[in-house]
């Protein structure tokens, strides 16, 4: 079953995840793609993970190339590419516990609201 939702809190800024679901084998690698549009040059990108009926949990953030925070460990990584406005989430050595809904979120310098979309894997 594909689960995908888009929550737009501002008209000029948004995030986009093209596919609603990804499937991969345990031990493998998956990349969840997230593109963003923003009217500013200073943007903060976030990834969250939600499993079951639990609240979304912060995974990592990216502010500039090489800057951000990672609370999910070495298996989770992301690189912000502002030239193509992309912030993919790469999950390596997949485990069954990685099956969840993943949210990509954007906060621009001029907006206080988060723009987010989620993907189920």
> Is pLDDT of 90 > 90?
yes
Helix (H, G, I), strand (E, B) or coil at 98: helix
Cα–chain center distance at 90: 10
Q: Where residue 71 falls among pLDDT bands split at 50, 70, 90?
A: confident
> pTM for the full model?
0.75
Query: Which residue bears the tokens 């998956």?
Result: 30
**92-116 average pLDDT score:** 80
What rounded mean pLDDT belongs to the chain? 79
CATH number, position 55: 2.60.40.10
Total domains in the chain come to: 1
Closest by CA position to 45, among listed 99, 75, 102, 88:
88
**Mean local confidence (pLDDT), 58-65:** 82
Domain enclosing residue 32, as ranges = 4-120
């Amino acid at each position: 079953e594909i689960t995908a939702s888009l929550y737009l809190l501002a008209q000029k800024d948004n995030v986009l995840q093209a596919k609603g679901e990804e499937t991969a084998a345990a031990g493998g690698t998956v990349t969840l793609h997230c593109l963003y549009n923003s009217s500013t040059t200073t943007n903060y990108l976030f990834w969250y993970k939600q499993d079951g009926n639990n609240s979304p949990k912060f995974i990592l953030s990216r502010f500039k190339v090489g800057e951000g925070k990672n609370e999910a460990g070495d298996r989770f990584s992301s690189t912000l590419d502002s030239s193509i406005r992309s912030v993919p989430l790469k999950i390596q050595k997949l485990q069954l516990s990685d099956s969840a809904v993943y949210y990509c979120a954007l906060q621009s310098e001029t907006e206080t609201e988060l723009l987010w979309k989620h993907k189920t894997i």
